Amino acid sequence: MKDQSKTATWVSDALTKNLGFKTLAVALALVFFYTRETESISHRTLSIPVIAMLDPAEDRILVSGFPEQVTLRLQGPVSVLKELRGQDVGPAVVPITEIKDQQFRFTRQNFNLPDAAKITMIYPESVPVQFEERIEKKVPLIVEIKGTPAPGRYLSDEIKIDPEKVSISGARSAVDRIEDWDTEPVFVEELGPGRHVIDLTLAPPKLANVFLEHEPTASVVFEVLQKEMTKWIRRVPVGVEGIDPAGITMKPATISVYVKGPEEVVKPFDMDMLNFYCTLTDDELITVGSYPKAIEHAQPPEGVTFVKIVPSKAIVINRSPAALKADKEE
């Protein structure tokens, strides 16, 4: 009985002594247990960008695409998961050179995750992988001309481009299909006459898995020419330079002029726009008489040529008041 009494006393003391501390300990244990159990079932979904690391020097090239991002479903404590961001976990870097199989599978090693975070899902979990042989070749550059020059102008037949060819590389199936490479367009509507040197960038690839080997620039050189025309202008009057026309007779009084030059300049030409004349010496200006003279003209507009002047000489008969007066005084 004595032993039973001692046992009962011990149990009573264990339950009743320091009751406040024991109650607090139990409460803390329950809080810890509850928190731990609650955080263990927390989940978080993140989108992680993917970067496929290519090696330009490798003799093979990846022709199957990788997704731009993968989705991760994570499980772990709330205190850990709530702070995570996509940029903290990724990007997921895929070293293409290390892929040996025809299927790449994402694993935890592709992501920067804290130890307490567990991956419960990756989508897509795997990606099919296909390689082709990498080849190189040179192809000619083609200048793309847009529009036409202004009326009366045209492009020269010779168009030079530097460099004439560019080096490309990539998957054999794509590179074999490329025969040339375009530049960005050259617009010529507003270009004036003369030589033009224009720096260009090259057009982007038309096919996937093809790359330019060098800086995608070129320069093109060409000329914009003016259309030329010829025409006769008839009955062009001829005068005498520096003298009152009264008393001056010209034989012939008019001439014909064969004009050649830019279409836009020559086409509107008429006799009122021309200045043809003969020149008398000081003595001839004050002397009555007949003088054979070469027919002269003012400087024609730029690019215009007077091919023929018919006739090229005229007879100037001077019976002007000044000449008559000087003749009487003698």
CATH code of 77's domain: 2.170.120.30
Last residue of a domain, one of 109, 129, 149: 129
Residues 6+ apart with CB under 8 A from 83: none
* Domain residue limits at 170: 134-226
**Cis ω for the linkage preceding 163 (within 30 of 0):** yes
- Identify whether residues 50 and 123 lie together within a single domain: yes
* Residues 241 and 172 occupy one common structural domain: no
- pLDDT (tens digit per residue) in 143-162: 988 998 888 888 988 899 99
C-alpha dihedral, 56 to 57 to 59 to 63, nearest 10°: -10
Residues 122 and 138 in one domain: no
Q: Is 30 part of any domain? A: no
User: Quick one: 209 and 155 in the same domain?
Assistant: yes
Residue 186 lies in a domain: yes
Would you state the pLDDT for residue 11?
46
On whether the pTM is more than 0.85, the answer is no
CATH, residue 174: 2.170.120.40
Is 147 part of a structural domain of the chain?
yes
Task: Give the residue with greater pLDDT, 263 vs 294.
Answer: 294
Residue 69 and residue 124: Cα distance in Å, rounded? 9
Please write the tens of the pLDDT for every residue from 79-91.
Answer: 888 888 888 888 9
Question: Is there a domain that residue 324 lies in?
Answer: yes
Task: State how far the Cα of 86 lies from the Cα of 190, in Å rounded to an integer.
Answer: 51
67 and 97 in a single domain? The answer is yes
Q: Give φ, ψ of 150 to 5 degrees.
A: -60, 155
Which residues lie across from 182 on neighbouring strands?
Answer: 142
Number of domains present in the structure of the chain: 3
pLDDT in tens, 184-220: 999 998 888 889 999 999 988 888 888 888 778 899 9
Last residue within a domain, chosen from 129, 149, 182: 129
Question: Where a domain ends, among 226, 258, 286?
Answer: 226
**Parallel, antiparallel, or unpaired for β 276-278 and 228-240?**
parallel
pLDDT mean across residues, the chain: 83
